[in-house]
Chains A and B, each alone.
Chain A
Amino acid sequence: MTQKKLTYKEAFSELENILVKLENNELDVDELTESVKKASELIKFCKAKLFETEEEVEKIIHDLDSENNK
């Protein structure tokens, strides 16, 4: 859904940017749809970071285990 290297921090600050734009009424109705879509993707991404297991990280940690046991 989003770029591979997106970090939680970047995602969250982008969410805040969208919010600021919304609060300042900087978005017209056409941009609104796009921004809301983007925001919902970012929220999904952030929630996944907080709650869901990333296989990639699990694997790295697991690999550390096997290296240490050698």
Chain B
Amino acid sequence: MQPKPLSLFELNNQIKGILKTNCEKSYWVTGEISEIKVNHSGHCYLELIQKDPASDQIIARSRATIWATGYRMIKPYFETTTKQPLSTGLDIMIKVCVEFHEVYGLSLNITDIEPVYTIGELALRKQNVIQRLNEEGVLEMNKELEFPYLCHKIAVISSVTAAGYEDFMDQLLSNSSGYKFYVKLFPATMQGKEAEKSIISSLDKIYQYESVFDAVVIIRGGGSKADLSCFDSYWLAYHITQFPLPVLTGIGHEQDDSVVDLVAYNRFKTPTAVASFLIDTITEHDVNLHQVEEQIIHCVGELIIDTQEIFVSVVANMTQKIKDLVLRKNIILQDFNFSLTTLAKKVVYHKKIVLNKRETRLTISSKNFWNNRQQDLQTFIKILMKHLNFVFEKNKNRLERFDDRIVYLNPRQIMKRGYSITRKNGKVIKDSHSLEKGDDLETILYKGKIVSVLKKK
């Protein structure tokens, strides 16, 4: 026969009794917050779970409560110690009393918390993420990128309203040197459960315009003790390691670096520090450029001076050489001149001597010649005179004899003896044959003449 059934209230009452007698007053328990909310009267309601580390399946679940009076103490204690808000995803260690209420069932009443446990758990979890990234060989990949030579086109991931973003922009765009930066904001939720997804989605957008930008900057508004556990997220960190542009972080928290900071190309404490870094890189270029400019100007100046000096020294050298040369030629010329004069004098002197000698010889010889000729002439004259006298004498005799003869030969002497000369027309007639009858003839006698006409032949 069936026993008499218990009413639900009776059963629940029995369970309550069993739990009360068998459970100790309180336990220290560890578990993960899967849900947490605070109602209007300040009571905090949570759901705690435990996952199987291998399968990630939930293997235990329980409701828990922190009554308003306790919560007012536990919350600040936890948050100041861990620098974390009491929020979902956190592993916590709590002191609980197991309570069973006939209407609300089993619930854990939280009376105390051990924040150090959470810190340890977070560190451990972070360590696991880092280890996983390391094992996959991606941990250093973003750091291994070559930092752009000129980094001034910046994609920023931040929330639009974040004070940190404003600080960053102020610092960057009002840089005192007036360097030009191009900044484009890709808005994202920077805290809480949505942050991981939101930041990854912004990274994906930037990835589409990879060629436009030089670097990505992830910044977060400063000061608040908001939930930063998203920056220890494996997937966000993984995305950053795989990103083709260098990622700079300025997440702004005083604690140890997050995993995102760790995998980023470079991490900075604050958004302003990121801006300063970017300005510094440009300043470095500016300084280098200025130095190169100065050095070029300096070198060119020196080169010009050197060239001028070389030119001047060449000219000076040349002038000196020309002077030397002129001087040497002058000396040679003078020497030559002297030699020439001396030689000329010598030659003239010698020629003079020769000439004198000749002159003397000539004078002597001409005198001799003259004397000789004179003597010759006198001798000749004497001889001639002798001859002449002889000829004269001889001819005088002959002439005298001739004169005697010529007296006998004169026609008049002959005509004296009776001879005459007959002429026809002035011509002496020696033959009668040339005469004609009637010719007029002239006959010259010793004394007078006769003119006759031929009568007969």
Contact = CB atoms under 8 A, between A and B. Distances in A.
Interface of A: 7-9, 12, 15-16, 18-19, 22-23, 25, 27, 29, 32, 36, 39, 43, 46-47, 49-54, 57-58, 60-61, 64-65, 68
A12 B182 CA distance: 21
The 3 A-B residue pairs with the shortest CB-CB distance in the complex, in nearest-first order: A22-B299, A9-B149, A8-B150
Contacts of A29: 307
Given A15-B296, A27-B303, A64-B209, A46 B184 contact: no
Contacts of B296: 15, 18-19, 22, 36, 39
A47 B288 CA distance: 11
B319 to A, nearest CB: 22
Given A8-B285, A19-B292, A50-B282, 16 more contacts: A9-B149, A12-B288, A18-B296, A19-B296, A19-B299, A25-B303, A32-B300, A43-B293, A49-B150, A49-B180, A50-B180, A51-B179, A52-B180, A58-B182, A64-B184, A68-B186
B361 interface: no
Contacts of A51: 178-180
Contacts of B303: 22, 25, 27, 32
B80 interface: no
A39 B150 CA distance: 19
A50 B295 contact: no
Nearest to A8: B150
Contacts of B423: none
Interface in B171-190: 178-180, 182, 184, 186
Interface residues of B, number: 26
Given A19-B299, A23-B299, A64-B209, A7 B179 contact: no
Contacts, number: 74
B307 A50 contact: no
A43 to B, nearest CB: 5
Interface of B: 149-150, 152-153, 178-180, 182, 184, 186, 205, 209, 212, 282, 285-286, 288-289, 292-293, 295-296, 299-300, 303, 307
Question: At the interface, is chain B mostly helix, strand, loop or mixed?
Answer: helix
B93 to A, nearest CB: 44
A47 B179 CA distance: 9
A47 B212 contact: no
Contact of A57 (B153, B282, B288): B153
Contact of B212 (A25, A36, A64): A64
User: Which of B205, B296, B300 has the most CB atoms of chain A within a 10 A radius of its CB?
Assistant: B296
Contacts of A9: 149-150
Contacts of A47: 289
Contact of A16 (B150, B180, B282, B292): B292
A39 B122 CA distance: 56
B242 to A, nearest CB: 22
Contacts of A46: 285, 289
A19 B180 contact: no
Contacts of B205: 68
Contacts of B153: 57, 61
B418 to A, nearest CB: 144
Nearest to A46: B289
Contacts of B295: 19, 22-23
Contact of A36 (B179, B182, B285, B300): B300
A50 B290 CA distance: 12
